Amino acid sequence: MVNDVPDSNGLLEGTGELIAKAAKAVNFEHARITAFGECSPLLLAQGKAEAAIRLEHLWDEITKSHGLDVLCAYPLDSFQGGGGGSYMFERICAEHSAVCFRSKSSAKLC
């Protein structure tokens, strides 16, 4: 992060190197690399919604350029209550190729 905004160059460089190392460590054909994203949900919880959306967008670029899967886990209560929670949920979902969610009262799959 630089001035509360995700550092695009740093993220792209750092993840590129990490993904290359992970790919070399795999010893079987058709292996897929999966990353679990915790940063965006934490940014959202800190009230930094625009930074969370920017980070999601950057991860989308990474998934396209490196052919990996990224899983994010947002607590649904992050989007409840006032303050445009539903709108923010839609904006974050728009940055993903697939969205699955589960709540206590119902479960929806992809």
Strongest mean pLDDT among 13-22, 23-32, 86-95 = 13-22
For the cut 70, the answer to whether the pLDDT of residue 4 exceeds it is yes
Interval 63-94: pLDDT, tens:
888 888 888 888 877 777 655 677 888 888 88
Q: Name the residue ranges covered by the structural domains of the chain.
A: 8-108
Name the residue among 32, 41, 25 with its Cα closest to residue 74: 41
Instruction: Give pLDDT tens digits for 30-42.
Output: 778 888 888 988 9
Beta strands in the chain (DSSP E): 34-37, 69-72, 101-102, 107-108
Dihedral sign, Cα of residue 41, residue 42, residue 43, residue 44: positive
| Predicted pLDDT at 49 | 87
Q: Chain-wide mean pLDDT for the chain? A: 82
pTM (predicted TM-score)? 0.78
